[in-house]
Amino acid sequence: MTPAVQARGLSKTYGSSPAVRDLDLDVSYGEIFAILGPNGAGKTTTIEILEGNRKRDSGQVLVLGEDPGTAGRSWRARIGIVLQEVSDAGMLTVHETLQMFTSCYGTARVTGEVLELVGLASVADSRVRTLSGGQRRRLDVALGIIGMPELLFLDEPTTGFDPEARRQFWDLIRLLAADGTTILLTTHYLEEAAALADRVAVIANGRVVAVDSPARLTAHVDSAATVQWMEGDEIRVEQTEFPTELIRQRSADGTELAHLTVTRPTLEDAYLHLIGLA
């Protein structure tokens, strides 16, 4: 089956500065796919090209089987977009805002069901300008899914969220994915990618440098475990591929390994390595 998103040799330059360089990407139907990368890596430019909101310089792109650069209104109705920043009509109520967007689609979700889904039913009659930051972000998602999109783009959706609001938002994304929506998100939060994504692409300097599941991305760095313990007043640290054997040997005579810890490379270690900061 053709992927929901497919890019080959995608490139975009602003003046003399390349933002995206010969980028390849595949996103399967039904998966949550995350793009990680530092500021300026090309994440947002890539997303905007895939959304059809920015022209590419070269390369081939198919999104839901069509070229987003030339696709029409029927294709656009099949995607949902949640931008980093949204200008809204703050004088309208939450319900009125959703109703306004509903009128733009031939087929749309029931407004009340969407409000329940995103956790805004209790503030349906509140004016948008009175909402908290987290509630506004939920409204952005509501507007992104009101047209029942097959593919939802989320560009850094939880920036500025407190930890509790972020985890509530994750639950919402999981619900959408369970309902069959393909989700492509960019994020700065490694724990967000680890918690949500089926696969992660790491972008650095406009190129994809690795694509894998969050768990398997750690294979891109030294997989040796770090074993640390105390011997008297001295801290001992050793790296080994076989930490259990090392611990068995060190404690074979009954010696207690005080303050023993065993750690393996994390997603953060892999990410920093892949973008050249470790």
Burial of 212 (C-beta count, 10 Å sphere; 0-12/13-18/19+): middle
CB atoms closer than 10 angstroms to residue 244: 11
Identify whether residues 154 and 256 lie together within a single domain. no
Residue 274 resides in a domain? no
Identify whether residues 137 and 153 lie together within a single domain. no
CA dist., res. 246 & res. 226, Å (int):
11
Residue 42 resides in a domain? yes
CA dist., res. 68 & res. 175, Å (int):
27
Which pLDDT score, from 0 to 100, does residue 185 have? Answer: 93
Identify whether residues 153 and 173 lie together within a single domain. yes
Residue 114 resides in a domain? yes
Q: Give the residue numbers spanning the domain of 67.
A: 1-78+149-214
Identify whether residues 142 and 161 lie together within a single domain. no
- Residues of the chain below pLDDT 70: 85-88, 220-223, 277-278
Residue 121 resides in a domain? yes
In contact, 57 and 8? CB cutoff 8 Å: no
Q: List the end-to-end C-alpha distance of the chain, in Å, as a whole number.
A: 38
Residue 172 resides in a domain? yes
Identify whether residues 46 and 63 lie together within a single domain. yes
Which pLDDT score, from 0 to 100, does residue 223 have? Answer: 66
Which pLDDT score, from 0 to 100, does residue 64 have? Answer: 96
Identify whether residues 102 and 199 lie together within a single domain. no
Where would I find the H helices in 36-132?
43-51, 73-76, 94-102, 111-118
φ, ψ of residue 76 to 5 degrees: the values are -60, -30
Which pLDDT score, from 0 to 100, does residue 31 have? Answer: 96
Longest dimension (CA), the chain: 76
Task: Describe the strand order of the beta sheet including 225-231 as a list of residue ranges.
Answer: 234-240, 225-231, 258-263
Identify whether residues 168 and 140 lie together within a single domain. no
Which pLDDT score, from 0 to 100, does residue 144 have? Answer: 87
Which pLDDT score, from 0 to 100, does residue 222 have? Answer: 66
Domain boundary among 183, 198, 214: 214
CA 89 vs. chain centroid, Å, equals: 27
Residue 166 resides in a domain? yes
Identify whether residues 139 and 262 lie together within a single domain. no
Identify whether residues 137 and 161 lie together within a single domain. no
Identify whether residues 68 and 135 lie together within a single domain. no
Cα dihedral across residues 108, 114, 120, 121: positive or negative = positive
What is the number of structural domains in the chain? 3
Q: List the beta bridge partners of residue 6.
A: 26, 62
Identify whether residues 16 and 138 lie together within a single domain. no
Residue the block writes with tokens 């999104």: 63
CA dist., res. 53 & res. 206, Å (int):
18
CATH number, position 7: 3.40.50.300
Residue 27 resides in a domain? yes
Task: Describe the strand order of the beta sheet including 17-27 as a list of residue ranges.
Answer: 17-27, 5-14, 58-63
Residue 28 resides in a domain? yes
CA dist., res. 81 & res. 258, Å (int):
52
* Overall pTM surpassing 0.85 (yes/no): no
Identify whether residues 2 and 74 lie together within a single domain. yes
Orientation angle between helical segments 133-145 and 163-178, nearest 10 degrees: 10
